[in-house]
Structure 1
Amino acid sequence: MKNININISVPNEILLTLRESDNELALNMKRWAALKLFEDKRLSIGQSAELAEMTEEDFVRYLSSNKVSVFPYRNVNELVEDMDNA
Protein backbone atom coordinates (compact mmCIF):
# COMPACT_ATOMS: atom_id res chain seq x y z
CA MET A 1 0.00 0.00 0.00
CA LYS A 2 1.26 3.44 -0.89
CA ASN A 3 1.68 5.91 1.96
CA ILE A 4 0.91 9.60 1.67
CA ASN A 5 2.69 12.20 3.79
CA ILE A 6 0.56 14.90 5.38
CA ASN A 7 2.33 17.94 6.78
CA ILE A 8 0.91 19.71 9.83
CA SER A 9 2.47 22.83 11.29
CA VAL A 10 2.66 22.85 15.08
CA PRO A 11 4.05 25.74 17.11
CA ASN A 12 7.29 24.79 18.84
CA GLU A 13 5.76 25.89 22.14
CA ILE A 14 3.28 23.01 21.87
CA LEU A 15 6.13 20.49 21.66
CA LEU A 16 7.83 22.16 24.61
CA THR A 17 4.63 22.13 26.66
CA LEU A 18 3.97 18.47 25.85
CA ARG A 19 7.63 17.57 26.31
CA GLU A 20 7.48 15.46 23.17
CA SER A 21 9.57 15.30 20.04
CA ASP A 22 7.95 16.00 16.71
CA ASN A 23 8.01 12.25 15.96
CA GLU A 24 6.35 11.40 19.28
CA LEU A 25 3.63 13.99 18.70
CA ALA A 26 3.04 12.74 15.15
CA LEU A 27 2.66 9.15 16.36
CA ASN A 28 0.33 10.19 19.18
CA MET A 29 -1.77 12.23 16.75
CA LYS A 30 -2.06 9.20 14.46
CA ARG A 31 -3.13 7.04 17.39
CA TRP A 32 -5.71 9.54 18.61
CA ALA A 33 -7.08 9.87 15.08
CA ALA A 34 -7.22 6.08 14.69
CA LEU A 35 -9.08 5.76 17.98
CA LYS A 36 -11.62 8.42 17.02
CA LEU A 37 -12.12 7.08 13.49
CA PHE A 38 -12.71 3.59 14.90
CA GLU A 39 -15.07 4.92 17.56
CA ASP A 40 -17.04 6.79 14.88
CA LYS A 41 -17.21 3.56 12.81
CA ARG A 42 -15.29 5.13 9.93
CA LEU A 43 -12.38 2.65 10.00
CA SER A 44 -12.22 -1.04 10.83
CA ILE A 45 -10.13 -2.34 13.69
CA GLY A 46 -7.47 -3.46 11.20
CA GLN A 47 -7.36 -0.12 9.40
CA SER A 48 -7.24 1.73 12.71
CA ALA A 49 -4.42 -0.46 14.00
CA GLU A 50 -2.47 0.16 10.80
CA LEU A 51 -2.96 3.93 11.09
CA ALA A 52 -1.88 3.77 14.74
CA GLU A 53 1.20 1.74 13.78
CA MET A 54 0.16 -1.04 16.15
CA THR A 55 -0.80 -4.67 15.93
CA GLU A 56 -4.53 -5.29 16.18
CA GLU A 57 -3.98 -6.83 19.60
CA ASP A 58 -2.10 -3.75 20.84
CA PHE A 59 -4.74 -1.47 19.32
CA VAL A 60 -7.49 -3.34 21.20
CA ARG A 61 -5.51 -2.74 24.40
CA TYR A 62 -5.12 0.92 23.42
CA LEU A 63 -8.89 1.17 22.93
CA SER A 64 -9.48 -0.41 26.32
CA SER A 65 -7.04 1.93 28.06
CA ASN A 66 -9.01 4.83 26.53
CA LYS A 67 -12.37 3.31 27.52
CA VAL A 68 -13.46 2.64 23.92
CA SER A 69 -15.24 -0.65 23.33
CA VAL A 70 -14.29 -2.92 20.45
CA PHE A 71 -17.98 -3.70 20.08
CA PRO A 72 -19.85 -1.40 17.69
CA TYR A 73 -22.82 -0.81 19.98
CA ARG A 74 -23.30 2.45 21.83
CA ASN A 75 -26.21 1.16 23.88
CA VAL A 76 -28.27 -1.97 24.53
CA ASN A 77 -30.97 -0.93 22.05
CA GLU A 78 -28.49 -1.04 19.14
CA LEU A 79 -27.40 -4.53 20.17
CA VAL A 80 -31.00 -5.77 20.51
CA GLU A 81 -31.92 -4.26 17.14
CA ASP A 82 -28.94 -5.92 15.50
CA MET A 83 -29.85 -9.27 17.07
CA ASP A 84 -33.48 -8.91 15.89
CA ASN A 85 -32.26 -8.27 12.34
CA ALA A 86 -29.95 -11.30 12.35
Structure 2
Amino acid sequence: MKVTVELPDNILQALNIPEEKISSELRIQLALFLYEKGRLSFGKARELADLSVWEFLERLNENKIPLHYDIKDLEQDLEVIKKL
Protein backbone atom coordinates (compact mmCIF):
# COMPACT_ATOMS: atom_id res chain seq x y z
CA MET A 1 0.00 0.00 0.00
CA LYS A 2 1.23 3.46 -0.84
CA VAL A 3 -0.02 6.58 0.94
CA THR A 4 0.09 10.06 -0.52
CA VAL A 5 -0.25 13.12 1.68
CA GLU A 6 -1.01 16.53 0.29
CA LEU A 7 0.21 19.56 2.22
CA PRO A 8 -0.83 23.15 1.57
CA ASP A 9 1.82 25.34 -0.06
CA ASN A 10 1.98 27.64 2.96
CA ILE A 11 2.89 24.66 5.20
CA LEU A 12 5.59 23.52 2.78
CA GLN A 13 7.00 27.06 2.65
CA ALA A 14 6.96 27.27 6.46
CA LEU A 15 9.09 24.12 6.61
CA ASN A 16 11.85 26.01 4.81
CA ILE A 17 13.15 22.86 3.11
CA PRO A 18 14.45 22.95 -0.48
CA GLU A 19 11.79 21.54 -2.79
CA GLU A 20 13.98 18.67 -3.98
CA LYS A 21 14.51 17.50 -0.38
CA ILE A 22 10.95 17.84 0.98
CA SER A 23 9.89 14.24 0.36
CA SER A 24 13.02 12.65 1.86
CA GLU A 25 13.11 15.02 4.84
CA LEU A 26 9.44 14.41 5.65
CA ARG A 27 10.05 10.64 5.49
CA ILE A 28 12.98 11.02 7.88
CA GLN A 29 10.98 13.18 10.29
CA LEU A 30 8.08 10.72 10.21
CA ALA A 31 10.46 7.83 10.84
CA LEU A 32 12.05 9.64 13.79
CA PHE A 33 8.66 10.46 15.27
CA LEU A 34 7.31 6.92 14.90
CA TYR A 35 10.50 5.44 16.37
CA GLU A 36 10.45 7.86 19.30
CA LYS A 37 6.81 6.97 20.03
CA GLY A 38 7.61 3.25 19.86
CA ARG A 39 5.41 2.67 16.80
CA LEU A 40 8.31 1.47 14.61
CA SER A 41 11.39 -0.55 15.46
CA PHE A 42 14.83 0.87 14.74
CA GLY A 43 15.12 -1.23 11.58
CA LYS A 44 11.70 -0.31 10.21
CA ALA A 45 12.16 3.39 11.04
CA ARG A 46 15.55 3.36 9.37
CA GLU A 47 14.01 1.67 6.35
CA LEU A 48 11.26 4.31 6.15
CA ALA A 49 13.87 7.06 6.44
CA ASP A 50 15.97 5.36 3.75
CA LEU A 51 19.13 5.94 5.78
CA SER A 52 22.06 3.73 6.74
CA VAL A 53 22.31 2.54 10.33
CA TRP A 54 24.93 5.20 11.05
CA GLU A 55 22.97 7.98 9.35
CA PHE A 56 19.84 7.09 11.30
CA LEU A 57 21.79 6.94 14.58
CA GLU A 58 23.17 10.38 13.79
CA ARG A 59 19.68 11.77 13.15
CA LEU A 60 18.44 10.24 16.42
CA ASN A 61 21.32 11.89 18.25
CA GLU A 62 20.72 15.26 16.56
CA ASN A 63 17.08 15.12 17.67
CA LYS A 64 17.96 13.86 21.16
CA ILE A 65 15.91 10.69 20.70
CA PRO A 66 17.22 7.85 22.87
CA LEU A 67 17.70 4.36 21.52
CA HIS A 68 15.10 1.82 22.58
CA TYR A 69 17.31 -1.04 23.68
CA ASP A 70 16.29 -3.43 26.42
CA ILE A 71 17.33 -6.78 27.86
CA LYS A 72 15.42 -8.66 25.13
CA ASP A 73 17.36 -6.75 22.46
CA LEU A 74 20.64 -7.54 24.21
CA GLU A 75 19.79 -11.23 24.42
CA GLN A 76 18.93 -11.32 20.71
CA ASP A 77 22.19 -9.56 19.85
CA LEU A 78 24.17 -12.04 21.98
CA GLU A 79 22.50 -14.96 20.19
CA VAL A 80 23.46 -13.48 16.82
CA ILE A 81 27.04 -12.99 18.00
CA LYS A 82 27.21 -16.62 19.18
CA LYS A 83 26.08 -17.81 15.75
CA LEU A 84 28.79 -15.78 14.05
Answer yes or no: same fold by TM over 0.5.
Answer: yes
TM-score, normalised relative to structure 2: 0.67
Structure 2 CA distance for aligned equivalents of residues 37 and 60 of structure 1: 14
Question: Residue 34 of structure 1 contacts residue 48 of structure 1 at CA under 8 Å; is this kept in 2?
Answer: yes
What SS does the aligned partner of 1:49 have?
A: helix
Question: What percentage of residue pairs aligned between the two structures are identical?
Answer: 27
1:58 and 2:55 aligned: yes
Q: Deviations over 1:10-37 (max 9, x none)?
A: 112223333331x422222211111111
How many residues align? The count is: 71
For structure 1, which runs of at least 5 residues remain unmatched after alignment? 74-81
Aligned-pair CA distance for 1:72: 4.3
Question: Which protein has the bigger helix share?
Answer: 2
1:70 and 2:70 aligned: no
* 2:7 pairs with one of 6, 10, 13: 10
Question: Residue 34 of structure 1 contacts residue 49 of structure 1 at CA under 8 Å; is this kept in 2?
Answer: yes
TM-score, normalised relative to structure 1: 0.66
For structure 2, which runs of at least 5 residues remain unmatched after alignment? 76-84
Alignment-derived partner of residue 30 in structure 1:
27
Q: Which of the pair has the greater relative contact order for Cα pairs under 8 Å at 6+ separation?
A: 2
1:11 and 1:66, CA in 2 relative to 1: closer, same or farther beyond 3 A?
Answer: same
